[in-house]
Each structure stands twice: as structure tokens, then as C-alpha cells.
Amino acid sequence: MRLHHRVDGPPDAPALVLSASLGSTLAAWEPQAAALAGTFRVVRYDRRGHGGSEVPLGPYSLDDLGRDALELLDELEVERASWCGLSLGGLVGMWLGVEAPERVDQLVLACTAPAFPPREQWLERAERVRAEGVAAIADAVVARWFTSGAAVELVGRFHEQLAATPAEGYAGCCEALADADLTGRLKEVAAPTLVLTGSDDPVVSAADGAALAAAIPHARHESIAAAAHLVSAEQPGAFTQAVLGHLTEEAR
């Protein structure tokens, strides 16, 4: 699976992969890329079925998405990397932490969980998207991504990004979420981990984030104020500061 990607920063710097939410592309990380590329070799990518990557027929699985990430690291000749993932991107990071711990230095898990039940909601969404397109669910999804105080331009930009996602790619990832559950394996994650949540996230609450951090051996939790699910976009400065603080502190 060839994934569309972009690499910024010094080629000899420690690698940091940024993995976005369902329905987002590598462009979601624009607020972080320049700041992080001063310290890291920053790799951003579009997961299968998104952006400029290939769109295979679904269903997909979490194993598929995790193996795609490992193939990208191999392609870029990256032996080990830190991983910053939001929502589905964070779930892929957890998968790497348990299935390929030798490839992971540190983790930032933002607005994510080891499972997103109920299963039926994802299967129903996949069915609807295949029938009507991603635009049919875009308004409802974006309403959970941002608080009511978010800038209109910001919300509109992400709405366009979501609506442009190929239906098959979005549906296939919904099916991956339907069956993903790493709850019983979190104790296997050995990487130092920062769990981030938005204070107003209707999908993953601060309590959910605290529970996730408590289940991972070397993890801590922080909540970022005035942000919903896409905390990296709504509060980019606070998010970037938290990520840099974690990664550089652990490196020392």
C-alpha cells in the first residue's frame, strides 16, 4: 500500500509521525508541521482511502492500518519513530505500541480510545456513506470536531476536507473502527506516552483520557481547554507545546 506522505525537517533528526483522524488528511497537521520540524524529521501521511493515498475496497482492519504505517516507515528507512496520532491516528499508534514496540520511541495519543463502541454505529455509517457519500454525514461529524467558538474559516476548511474523502476509504475505516479493541492489551505499551484530550470533546472525554493513561504503564494525561475533538486544529499552540514538551522531556 503506497501512502501519500510528506517529510519535513532535518533528515538526520529523530523521526516523528503525525497520523490524523478519520476523514482528515495530512493537511490537518499544518499548524504543527513547521514548529515540530525544527526538532524532528516530521512524517505526515494520508491513510489508505484518504487524500492522495490509494483507495482499496473495504472493509479495512486496524491491522491493515497498522501494517500500512510500518510499510511507510520501511519505505522511508526509519527504524524507530515517535508517533503522534489523533482519534483513529491515535488508535493506530496504540496498535504499533503493542504489535511493533521495537519501532516506537514515544507516543502522543490525542482524543482517542482503545475502542469506539458500539460496533453497529460504525457499520451503519459505512453503509450510509457508501450509498450517499461522505458529504451526507459531514455536518454531524464536524459539529463534534469543534466547539461553538471555533473560527468559521477553520470549521469550513475541515468540512471541505472531510466531504472530499472518498466514500470507500471512509467506509472502510469505519469498518476498521467497528472491530478494533485494544483495551485488554494496553499494559503491553512500553513507550512513554502522553494522552491529550480536549476539554469539550463529545467523543472522548477528559475522564476517558485519564482512564487510558491509567491503563498504559508509562503514561500521563493532560486536558487542553476550549477544544473539542480536533484539539490540534482548534488549539494548535497549546497542542504543539504539549507535544514538544513530552517528546523533548522524554528524550532528555
Indicate the burial class of 215 (C-beta count within 10 angstroms; 0-12, 13-18, 19 or more): middle
Widest CA span of the chain, in angstroms? 51
The model's pTM is 0.97
* Residue 214: predicted pLDDT: 98
Mean pLDDT to the nearest integer, 85-89: 98
Task: Spell out the residues 6+ positions from residue 28 whose beta carbon is closer than 8 angstroms to its own.
Answer: 20, 21, 86, 158, 161, 230, 232, 233
Closest by Cα among 34, 43, 40 to 10: 40
Run of H or E residues at 223: strand 219-224
- 232 pLDDT band, cuts 50/70/90, is very high
Cis peptide bond prior to 59, omega within 30° of 0: yes
H helices within 11-103, ranges in order? 30-37, 62-75, 88-99
Q: For residue range 31-73, list pLDDT tens digits in order.
A: 999 999 999 999 999 999 999 999 999 999 999 999 999 999 9
**What is the distance between the alpha carbons of residues 188 and 219, in angstroms, rounded to a whole number?**
12
Residue 252 pLDDT greater than 50, yes or no: no
Q: Are 164 and 50 in contact (CB under 8 A)?
A: no
Percent of the chain beyond pLDDT 90? 97
* Residue 250: predicted pLDDT: 54
**What is the distance between the alpha carbons of residues 107 and 67, in angstroms, rounded to a whole number?**
17
**What is the distance between the alpha carbons of residues 66 and 35, in angstroms, rounded to a whole number?**
26
Mean pLDDT score of the chain, rounded to an integer? 97
CATH code of 87's domain:
3.40.50.1820
**What is the distance between the alpha carbons of residues 11 and 132, in angstroms, rounded to a whole number?**
43
Q: Are 154 and 99 in contact (CB under 8 A)?
A: no
- 249 pLDDT band, cuts 50/70/90, is confident
Closest by Cα among 24, 194, 206, 207 to 97: 194
Residue 237 pLDDT greater than 60, yes or no: yes
Residue 16 pLDDT greater than 90, yes or no: yes
DSSP state of 46: P
**Cα-trace Rg, the chain:** 16
**What is the distance between the alpha carbons of residues 83 and 93, in angstroms, rounded to a whole number?**
6
Q: Please state the domain count of the chain.
A: 1
Question: What residue numbers bound the domain in which 234 lies?
Answer: 5-251
Please state at what angle helix 30-37 crosses helix 236-251, rounded to 10 degrees.
Answer: 30
- The Cα-based distances of 89 to 26, 127, 132, 249 in angstroms read 11, 22, 25, 23
